[in-house]
Amino acid sequence: MSERYTVISADCHAGADLLDYRPYLEKKYLDEFDAWARAYVNPFADLAAEDAARNWDSDRRLAELAADGIVAEVVYPNTVPPFFPSGSLTAGPPSQADYELRWAGLRAHNRWLADFCARAPGRRAGVAQIMLNVPEDAADEIRRVREAGLTGGVLVPGVPPGAPVPALHSPVYEPIWAACEEYDVPVNHHGGSGAPGLEPDPAALAVFIVEVAWYSHRALWHLIFGGVFERHPRLRFVLSEQGADWIPGVLDTLDYFYARYRGDPSTAEAKFGGPAAERLSLTPSEYFARNCWVGATFMKPNETPLRHRIGVDKIMWGSDYPHDEGTHPYSREALRRSYADVDPAENRAMFAGNAAAVYGFDLAALRPVAERHGPAVEEIAEPLTAVPEGATSPVFAPEIIRRAW
């Protein structure tokens, strides 16, 4: 029998159909939810199409992922939670006036997600959602979702320019970081978060695509220079669906600034950054090595050669199911395109081992499923020579060398 890989997607998305969130809301919000739902117009075509059921149809989802060679998944949000104008990833922090209802909506999603994950024991690690407006509320929810069995950790939103909440480096968020470290809850920061709102203008939309990942990257240096990793050495921080090729260059840049901050006090860098750097005992690249992981969704062929600079033990592959830019139903081909010439031991780490370490998947329990559905080692070792017809993921795009931020 051929040896097969266990493949865990560290980046998938799910959510309830709009009205299916209703049973998970507190009773005092039901009348407002009914009025909101009657007036709501879904802005996302993919959530109104027949395939939208992939977000909440557990049996269909398991079957499609298994056919794609994937045996377990980390589940980020996708559909629109109650009282939100759009998906929560890109909605941004609410005003204080909107906070109560949106917070109720996110808690309803977290309750739904716990039930959804329980339908496939050991095969789903659900990522709970929080808000930054009231850090004490967020810390309470972190404790609750951990007790409810959500093992995917918590999704910390970014802070766009002009947001009604402080930047991520602010000490006001200390209750959140402390709760995550105390309860061993991974902190996830997903691409799309922290960017300014979309504008219905061709140039603005094009600029958004260019800049959206960079706005998510900002969380890394905010947490480093905000001293979060210094104060919480056991905190696990995952940067998901933001690419991976930017990491080596950015770490070099952050280390450069750190050295300047700690160097000659007469320099401009030291005058600006010295007080923050003096509180740090490690360099930025050392904090990354200790505290950070990469949800390297559909890692592209030009990124794979950087794996040793990033850290083979830091990279977690993801399919981005069920998004159009995801690799489904060609995940096996995507793995061949990027990992054909990689040592199988390294592939085992990036395909499953690292995700198991971060999110608590039991590889031994997943092994029988992988023996039925996982891709064979020799299959992945065969270079992909032709892109599947209809494949839309960036992993299949012609290789273009782009300079990382």
Query: Taking 50 as the threshold, does the pLDDT of residue 137 lie above it?
Result: yes
Give the integer Cα–Cα distance in Å for 284 and 404: 18
Q: Could you tell me which of 225, 254, 207, 87 has the C-alpha nearest to residue 157?
A: 87
Measure CA 172 to chain center: 23
pLDDT, residue 46, reads: 62
Summarize the confidence of residues 176-189 as an average pLDDT. 98
Query: Taking 60 as the threshold, does the pLDDT of residue 191 lie above it?
Result: yes
Angle among Cα 48, 50, 51 to the nearest 5 degrees reads 95
Q: What's this model's pTM, rounded to 2 decimal places?
A: 0.95
pLDDT, residue 337, reads: 97
In eight-state DSSP terms, residue 341 is T
Query: Taking 50 as the threshold, does the pLDDT of residue 97 lie above it?
Result: yes
294 to 78, 80, 210, 217: CA distances (angstroms): 20, 25, 20, 11
**3-state secondary structure string, 56-100?**
CCHHHHHHHHHHCCCCEEEEEECCCCCCCCCCHHHHCCCCHHHHH
Q: In 305-351, at which residue ranges do the beta strands (DSSP E only) sit? A: 315-318
pLDDT, residue 214, reads: 95
SS3 state at 24: helix
Q: Could you tell me which of 174, 193, 307, 285 has the C-alpha nearest to residue 239?
A: 193
pLDDT, residue 2, reads: 77
pLDDT, tens digit, for every residue of 19-74?
999 999 999 999 999 999 999 887 666 666 778 999 999 999 999 999 999 999 99
The CATH number of 8-396 is 3.20.20.140
* 153 membership: H or E segment, kind and range: none
Give the integer Cα–Cα distance in Å for 340 and 181: 37
pLDDT, residue 45, reads: 62
Q: What percent of the chain has pLDDT over 90?
A: 89
Residue pair 352/5 in contact by the 8 Å Cβ criterion: yes
DSSP β-bridge partners for residue 317: 296
In a 10 Å sphere around its CB, with 0-12 CB exposed, 13-18 middle and 19+ buried, how is residue 154 labelled? buried
Q: Could you tell me which of 155, 82, 148 has the C-alpha nearest to residue 118?
A: 148
Which sign does the torsion angle of CA 80, 83, 84, 89 carry?
negative
Q: Could you tell me which of 11, 395, 403 has the C-alpha nearest to residue 246?
A: 403
Q: In 187-323, at which residue ranges do the beta strands (DSSP E only) sit? A: 187-190, 237-240, 292-297, 315-318
pLDDT, residue 235, reads: 98
DSSP β-bridge partners for residue 292: 237
Residue pair 94/131 in contact by the 8 Å Cβ criterion: yes
Summarize the confidence of residues 352-372 as an average pLDDT. 98
Q: In 103-240, at which residue ranges do the beta strands (DSSP E only) sit? A: 124-126, 128-129, 154-155, 187-190, 237-240
pLDDT band at residue 89 under the 50/70/90 scheme: confident
Angle among Cα 92, 11, 120 to the nearest 5 degrees reads 110
pLDDT, residue 262, reads: 96
pLDDT, residue 49, reads: 72
Domain residue limits, the chain: 8-396
pLDDT, residue 44, reads: 67
pLDDT, tens digit, for every residue of 146-170?
999 999 999 999 999 999 999 999 9
| Beta strands 8-14; 154-155: pairing state | unpaired
Residue pair 218/181 in contact by the 8 Å Cβ criterion: no
Q: What backbone phi and psi angles, to 5 degrees, belong to 36?
A: -65, -45
What the block records as the tokens of 138 is 């967020």
Summarize the confidence of residues 365-389 as an average pLDDT. 97
What the block records as the tokens of 224 is 């480093």
